[in-house]
Structure 1
């Protein structure tokens, strides 16, 4: 069942240690994933191509609201469940901090991946991992833009 992909941090750390002992390459990406769109999907697919196991760090509702006032639109449980149905995603764990730095430090992935709107030198946790990659940004596609377009239709 896809909900089995949603794992607590402590358990995830144990799973990753086991996978690494089997020679698996662990890739990490993170985000709010508030309204899933093609940019998210392409980023996840691109991230998965960098290794064997893709871990997604998902901002909790309180974390999202700190960095994006008025959000999230979709509650964290639903966002996690939607992510869990995406084939390339192996595990999802939630984090409550503003950034995933502590989570990255805990789980020690081999690779970090972010969307192309990030400069590699600005990727949180880049000082912890061996590799950082970006996936090409899909111009004009963002959750904020989708929300704006919906508001324009309604108002």
Structure 2
């Protein structure tokens, strides 16, 4: 693989080789629209759960469907920011609304969800349980979000 950014097919083959060495694989994911301290906390905590941290990033189209608005930054920029982080081993973009298909394809040992999912059902839960993947909550209590930052930075708020 070239660099940290990869496509799902290439990544699946790479992870098969990592399993041979008994490396514990962790999968995390999200929109990462406006990167903030909460994202960093989540990824650092997820990295501590295993040997290899793979991060799935929602495509621009999936963010538009999920959030009913386009992303602030395009997927190419969001994946580049994540790839620059030392805690992240590999990054891929996915077009679905959830990571369920990628969980089944990549078969990580651990699926890390952010602290905002503590005590909550999430859409990938069934897929994670189906493949025997451990589900872990990573990071401290959520203190900020891209939506909050977007609202604070909105042009109409700056005029006040």
Query: Structure 2 vs 1, CA of residues 143 and 121 (structure 1 numbering), >3 Å: closer, same or farther?
Result: closer
What is residue 64 of structure 1 aligned with on the other side? 63
What is residue 89 of structure 1 aligned with on the other side? 88
- Once the two structures are superposed, the pairs formed by residues 38-117 of structure 1 within 5 Å of their partners are 38-117=37-116
Q: Separation in 2 of the partners of 1:59 and 1:105?
A: 17
Which segments of 5 or more consecutive residues in structure 2 lack a partner in the other structure?
none
2:27, 2:55 within 8 Å by CA — same for their partners in 1? yes
TM-score norm. by structure 2 comes to 0.90
What is residue 128 of structure 2 aligned with on the other side? 126
Q: Separation in 2 of the partners of 1:11 and 1:113?
A: 21
2:61, 2:70 within 8 Å by CA — same for their partners in 1? no
Task: Report the CA distance between 1:131 and its aligned residue.
Answer: 1.1
> Can you list the C-alpha shifts for 1:84-137, whole angstroms capped at 9, x where unaligned?
001100001111011110011000000011111103662413313431111222
Query: How many residues are matched?
Result: 152
TM-score norm. by structure 1 comes to 0.92
What is residue 145 of structure 1 aligned with on the other side? 148
Q: Aligned to 2:44, what secondary structure does the other structure show?
A: helix
Which segments of 5 or more consecutive residues in structure 1 lack a partner in the other structure?
none
Task: Report the CA distance between 1:10 and its aligned residue.
Answer: 0.5
Q: Aligned to 2:117, what secondary structure does the other structure show?
A: coil
